[in-house]
Amino acid sequence: MQNLTDLTGNTTSGVNLSVIVKVCVVIPFFIAFLFFILLTLCTFASHRQFFDSSRYILFTYMLINDTLQLFSSVSLFLLAMGGVQFAVIFCAPLIFVSTATFLNTPLILSTMSLERYVAIFYPLHRPAIWRAERIWIIIVSMWIISCILPTVDFVLMRLKPNVDIHSTPVLCKPTVLNASPIQALFKVSLNGIFFAVVAVVILFTYIRILLETRRMRQDRVSVRKALHTVLLHGFQLLLSVMAFSQPVAELLLFQRVNLSQADISFIYYFCFILLPRFLSPLIYGLRDESLRSYMKKAMPCFGARIDPHKEVKIIK
């Protein structure tokens, strides 16, 4: 993501214990995330009934998006830590994927909140676009919307003087592509509007489901679960929004905390860029009883303890 590569570019003093510690913190988390993603996707592939539910289809899409985000983000992180320089033409695709998948996250969170809203208020007559066989239309729309901003960035791209797109080696970070202050202001403004709209959607679904829990006399458990899910979506959105406060927060922390700017940047990057992606599969995967049960069966250490004849209900 764009905030990630604002980590210090001065790696001459970075090849030390601090860099080793940072890499050793990020890589194990990344490997654990990939293990959980592969386990979840294998579970979905082995039990096709999951794809009869729009909820699980959206969850799968979120996992794939988070995987692409982490691959690009961690790649940029390792390149920044190593001070690796290469031509802009090879750097641009990494930044494009990182930015698009980062912006896609709040769209997915708001869509999953709306899906819970539709499931609660229209359990028997769900609109066609929210059904499992049509949910791909919403997914494609989210991907197109999330690609608009990075596409505009590249169309308006103004490289720094003496930088050739094909040959000049540069540190791969957005400031190389976005040298214009006007372009940076445009991006910040657009991001603010974008996240504000998503926040309103999540707040709307939360309030509506909250009111529904007080009105309904039956199936209050499922409604409360939906309410908790939307609340978690809001928490994840808050973590994502915090990523945009990085420049101001870094300046304030740098004046009050006895840490280098590189260390503060890393802490901010880990807490508000990486951690929300690490939490996504845990929050939604382990909280889901049916998915958790199937995943345990897929793991040798748990599979022998579970009754294979016990039915698990797939919640739609």
Q: What is the CATH number of the domain that holds 83?
A: 1.20.1070.10
pLDDT of residue 288: 73
For the residues 136-141, what does the mean pLDDT come to? 93
pLDDT of residue 172: 85
Kindly state whether residue 213 falls inside one of the protein's structural domains.
Answer: yes
The DSSP letter of residue 62 is: H
The DSSP H or E segment spanning 282 is: helix 275-287
- DSSP H or E stretch at residue 183: helix 181-215
Domain assignment present for residue 316? The answer is no
Locus of tokens 């994840």: 236
The reply to whether 154 falls in a domain is yes
Q: How many independent structural domains does the chain possess?
A: 1
Across 236-250, average pLDDT: 67
Q: Indicate the pTM of the whole model.
A: 0.81
Q: How far is CA 10 from the centre of its chain?
A: 28
Any bridge partners for residue 85, and if so which? 171
pLDDT at 94 over 70: yes
Give the residue numbers spanning the domain of 216: 4-303
Is residue 38 within 8 Å of 135, Cβ to Cβ? Answer: no
Q: Is residue 277, in this structure, part of any structural domain at all?
A: yes
Specify if 160 maps to a domain. Answer: yes
pLDDT for the residue numbered 254: 63
308 domain-assigned: no
